[in-house]
Chain A
Amino acid sequence: MANLNIDSVKARTFDAIVVGSGISGGWAAKELTEKGLKTLVLERGRDVKHNRDYPTTNKMPYEFEHRGQVPLEIREKEPVVSRCYAFREDAMHFFTRDSEHPYVQEKPFDWIRGYQVGGKSLLWARQTQRWSDFDFDGPARDGFAVDWPIRYKDLAPWYSHVEKFAGISGNSDGLAELPDGEFLPPYPLNSVENYFRQQLKTHYGNRHVISARCAHLSKPNQIHFDQGRGQCQNRTLCQRGCPFGGYFSSNSSTLPWAERTGNLTLRPFSVVESVIYDEKAGKATGVRVVDTNTKEVIEYYARIIFVNASALHTNHILLNSTSARFPNGLGNDSGVLGKYVGFHNYRARISAEYDGLLQYATAGRNPSDGGYIPRFRNLHKQETDFLRGYAAGFGARRYQVEDRSGFGEDLKQQLLNPTWSNWNVGSHMMGETIPKEGNFVGLDKDQKDAWGVPLLRINIGYDDNDEKMIKDYLEQMTEMFTKAGFTNIRATDSKQAPGLDIHEMGGVRMGHDPKTSLLNKYNQLHACQNVFVTDGACMTSTSTQNPSLTYMALTARAVDHAVSEMKKGNL
């Protein structure tokens, strides 16, 4: 028996454990296994193998029973996830159902989740813009949250490292607020997007429209072929999983790469209940897992643990990891664990029409989604009555439209012979929110999930700063559209709840001071240094850029530090 136990413990012991297989967990797995560490990746959901498990990827629209629409019964039963733009008949199976995985909303919060190997990296919008020091300096300059313990120069080489591997298409635009990276050829702006770019240059000078940078292989390099990926085919059916590996996901890229090292063990159906803390050793020794099929509780052990369970679940796990040393959650000496959560304010949009440049349309599809307007508000100095600012998407399209007014042979003729619409232009805001103590998550005292883990309580809302920013975005965009000669301008505030932006961040923030933050500059828990957090939970502030690229870079940097510390015997 004794030997059996020893063998069993040995079989459950690894050099490193990664909790979560999404965009940052996948990167942790790749970097750790490449550096020779036997790595266990735990995923709460099912396995999704590249290609094998993309059941809808090659389906034509007419092969979907409801032509893409989600049946009413599902929409009524799953109101939260049904509000997500990508929750459609073709990709429903990659989204977590509200009814099966409840959480407590103290305020409305649309928590969009993807419980499967690859997580939301299968479903993301693939926008990849670097941060700059205008972002990292933000909290210190404007007096909110705490100072970031890193600056752009710390992360720049790691941005390059992950960009080369993931494959990012983009243009070198020479903008200090949005540093250039290691780019594959950009997807070009179309005629009206370029026209608007020129208009902004003429009227403002400091407002820019660039080709949105995105994780698509516009022209793959050898490193991408080596991953088994090929050129993006512009299908823009990404949310189904891409058979070409045309966009970056854990499933198409980092996980198979990690697997090929021979150092990866992937265990799906594994909910991590908590991180195990050893009082005597003064460090974490492993994690406690509930097998979602058997409900068996199993412990796994490792020298270092990366918690990449998604921003709010990483909070969830740490809050639930209590011990005599850490009665309020692992590493939570400061009491700020779960607090200062931020997100991106996506409430406002604007659309209009343009009747110029009608000698052009576009053909095919643009996977980058068009143009991107980097933050221009309060960039160099405070100039408005709200803090920070917003980035914005900008796109122009002409549609093939059919006159549907008639019937009979006329209607049939019209349907088969569409004409081009006017140019339709549109923009949506991506506003920075200010992380506050009052925006927090916690554990429910009574209700537990099917695996005995307390439900997460979410208490996150907008504030006055957000409302002012929405007003400013709509005013400024209306002015810019007007100056460009766009007509029929329609500005809207969707009033959507936080969460639907799918950019929730923070709760386990980085900082210099253990009294006011959880993580140090290498993403180690100040008070338990062999535990690393490099997903959205680590973010001290949110800035305006889509955050995934920054999580990837932070992860690769943290792994590099972890392994060098292990070699020195410090971990």
Chain B
Amino acid sequence: MDRRSAVKGLLIFAGSVAVLPSCVLEEGKASIPLDHLDVSAGEEELLAEVVETLIPATDTPGAKAMGLHLFTLKMLDDCYSREDQQTFMTGMTAFAELAKEQTGKRFTKCSPEQRQQVVASVNTRQAPEEVLTFYNILKGETIKGYLNSELVMTTLRVYELVPGRYEAYYPVTAEAQIS
């Protein structure tokens, strides 16, 4: 198996979101079952492009292929309060409008450069509060999902488990600053 297909194989697990046959889910709705959130297919696509802008594919996969937008939805659906969920949804709509204002296009139709411009403004807090709340939740969960993914933990920043060790005086040299 070459590296690319090996990585692809890992991806199904990376997001750790069950992929159900589409017939189970309502047409035009998100591709994963959600108990509290009402997310459309279009909104899911928007989220996919935002997380891809946050962590893009390079020589290693990006957030969209890793399903981190779906991971965010799963976390939001199960672990956040109703209030946070509502703020997220309102903020997502406001974000979409902001993107349209800035570029004249829907975010998903924007070029990668345009997407980066939109995200750059939100990332530097030049956006309404509700957009920032949405963005902070999405970015936080995307990073959590990324760092805790199989891809990262087994190949990019290896999670060491067994055999274990404890080195109480581990020397930190300049090179060791980067693990």
Interface of A with B (CB < 8 Å)? 60-63, 65-67, 69-73, 187-191, 232-235, 358-367, 400, 402, 404-409, 411-412, 415-420
Among B55, B75, B80, B178, point to the contact of A419 (Cβ < 8 A). Answer: B178
* Cβ contact within 8 Å between A61 and B162: no
> How far does the alpha carbon of A412 sit from the alpha carbon of B179 in the complex, in Å?
15
For residue B16, CB closer than 8 A to chain A, the reply is: yes
A365 partner, pick from B143, B145, B152, B166, beta carbons under 8 A: B166
Task: Check B54–A233 contact: CB distance below 8 A.
Answer: no
Pair A361/B170 contact, Cβ less than 8 Å = yes
B170 touches A360 (CB 8 A): yes
Query: Which of A72, A190, A363, A407 sits near B165, CB closer than 8 Å?
Result: A363
B80 proximity list for chain A (CB < 8 A): 72
For B109, the chain A residues whose CB sits under 8 A away are none
Q: Is the CB of A412 within 8 A of B78?
A: no
A-B contact pairs, 28 of them (CB 8 A): A60-B159, A61-B148, A61-B153, A61-B159, A63-B13, A65-B16, A66-B78, A67-B145, A71-B79, A72-B78, A72-B80, A188-B168, A232-B164, A359-B171, A359-B172, A360-B172, A362-B169, A364-B160, A364-B165, A367-B166, A405-B123, A406-B123, A407-B120, A407-B123, A411-B55, A415-B55, A415-B143, A416-B157
Given contacts A408-B53, A416-B157, contact A62 B148 (CB under 8 A): yes
Assembly CA distance A504 to B144 (angstroms): 36
A62 lies within 8 A of B53 (CB): no
Question: Is the beta-carbon distance between B178 and A364 smaller than 8 angstroms?
Answer: no
Chain B: minimal CB distance from A33 (Å): 32
| A67 and B177 alpha carbons, distance in the complex (Å) | 27
- Are A416 and B171 in contact (CB-based, < 8 A)? no
Chain B residues at the A interface, C-beta cutoff of 8 Å: 13-14, 16, 53-56, 58, 62, 74-75, 78-81, 116, 119-120, 123, 139, 143-150, 152-153, 156-157, 159-172, 176-179
8 smallest beta-carbon distances between A and B, as pairs: A234-B164, A364-B165, A233-B164, A363-B170, A363-B167, A188-B168, A190-B168, A71-B78
What residues of chain A lie closer than 8 Å to B145, measured between beta carbons? 67
18 more contacts with CB within 8 A, not counting A235-B162, A363-B166, are: A61-B153, A62-B150, A63-B16, A65-B78, A66-B79, A72-B78, A232-B164, A361-B172, A363-B165, A364-B160, A365-B166, A404-B139, A407-B139, A408-B56, A408-B116, A411-B55, A412-B62, A417-B178
Which residues does chain B contribute within 8 Å of A361, judged by CB atoms? 170, 172, 176
Q: Which of A71, A72, A400, A412 contacts B55 (CB 8 A)?
A: A412
| Number of A-B residue pairs with CB-CB distance less than 8 Å in the complex they form | 132
In the bound complex, how far is the Cα of B137 from the Cα of A232, in angstroms?
A: 38
Q: How far is the CB of A495 from chain B (nearest CB, A)?
A: 22
Partner of A62 from the list B58, B153, B163, B164 (CB cut-off 8 Å) is B153
Q: List, in ascending order, chain A residues with CB within 8 A of B143's CB.
A: 402, 404, 411, 415
Known contacts: A72-B80, A404-B143, A412-B56. The answer to whether A67 contacts B148 by CB under 8 A is: yes
From B84, which residue of chain A is reached at the shortest CB distance?
A72
A406 to B116, CA, bound (A): 11
Tell me the complex Cα distance, A67–B144, Å.
8
Contacts of B169 in A (CB 8 A): 190-191, 360, 362
Cα-based distance from A71 to B80 in the complex (angstroms): 8
- Whether B177 lies near A419 (C-beta < 8 A) is yes
Q: Which residues of A contact B164 (CB under 8 A)?
A: 232-235, 364-365
Indicate if the CB atoms of B53 and A407 lie closer than 8 Å: yes
Contact residue among A191, A407, A415 (Cβ-Cβ distance under 8 Å from B168):
A191
Given A359-B171, A362-B167, decide whether A407 and B54 contact each other with a Cβ distance below 8 A: yes
Taking the closest CB of chain B, its distance from the CB of A439, in whole angstroms, is 35
Of A69, A366, A408, the residue contacting B79 (CB under 8 A) is: A69
Q: Measured between alpha carbons, how far is A361 from B81 in the docked complex, in Å?
A: 38
A481 to B123, CA, bound (A): 37
**Given the complex, which residues of A lie within 8 Å of B144, measured CB to CB?**
67
Q: Which residues of chain B come closer than 8 Å to A412, judged between CB atoms?
A: 55-56, 58, 62
* A420-B159 in contact (CB<8A): no
Q: How far is the CA of A420 from the CA of B178 in the complex (A)?
A: 8
Chain B: which residue is nearest A63 at the CB level? B16
> Would you give the shortest CB distance from A90 to chain B, in whole angstroms?
13
- Chain B residues with Cβ below 8 Å from A72 are 78-81
- A406–B54 alpha-carbon span in the complex (Å): 8
Contacts of A418 in B (CB 8 A): 157, 178-179
Q: Do residues B78 and A234 form an inter-chain contact, with CB atoms below 8 A?
A: no
* Cα distance, A73 to B152, chains bound together (Å): 30
CA distance A61 to B153 in the complex (A): 9
| Neighbouring A residues of B14 by C-beta, 8 Å | 62
A364 x B54 contact (CB < 8 A): no
Residues on B with beta carbons closer than 8 Å to the beta carbon of A415: 55, 143, 146-147, 152
Taken together as a complex, chains A and B put the C-alpha atoms of A125 and B178 apart, in Å, by 32
Residues of A within 8 A of B146 (CB): 415
Min CB gap A372→B, angstroms? 15
- Measured in the bound complex, the distance between the Cα atoms of B159 and A365 in whole Å is 12
B118 to chain A, nearest CB (A): 11
Residue of B at shortest CB range from A187? Answer: B166
A231 to chain B minimum Cβ distance, whole angstroms, is 9
**CA separation between A492 and B75, bound complex, in Å?**
30
Considering the chains assembled together, what is the distance between the CA atoms of A65 and B17 in angstroms? 8
Contacts of B150 in A (CB 8 A): 60, 62
Q: Tell me, in angstroms, the Cα distance from A233 to B81 when the chains sit together.
A: 38
**Chain A residue at smallest Cβ distance from B112:** A408
Interface centre among B53, B74, B79, B144 (most CB of A within 10 A): B79
Give every chain B residue within 8 A of A400 (Cβ-Cβ).
Answer: 179
Hey, which chain A residues are within 8 Å of B162, CB to CB? Answer: 233, 235
B16, B160, B166, B171: the one within 8 Å of A366 (CB):
B166
Distance in angstroms from A308 CB to nearest chain B CB is 32
On chain A, the residues within 8 Å of B159 by CB distance are: 60-61
Q: Given that A187-B166, A408-B53, A409-B56 are known contacts, is A62 also in contact with B149, CB under 8 Å in the complex?
A: yes
Residues in A whose Cβ lies below 8 Å from that of B79: 66, 69-72
For residue B81, which residue of chain A has the nearest CB?
A72
Q: Which of A70, A363, A406 has the most CB of B within 10 A?
A: A363
How many angstroms from the CA of A366 to the CA of B170 in the assembled complex? 13
CA distance A323 to B146 in the complex (A): 63
A233 to B159, CA, bound (A): 14
List, in ascending order, chain B residues with CB within 8 A of A233's CB. 161-164
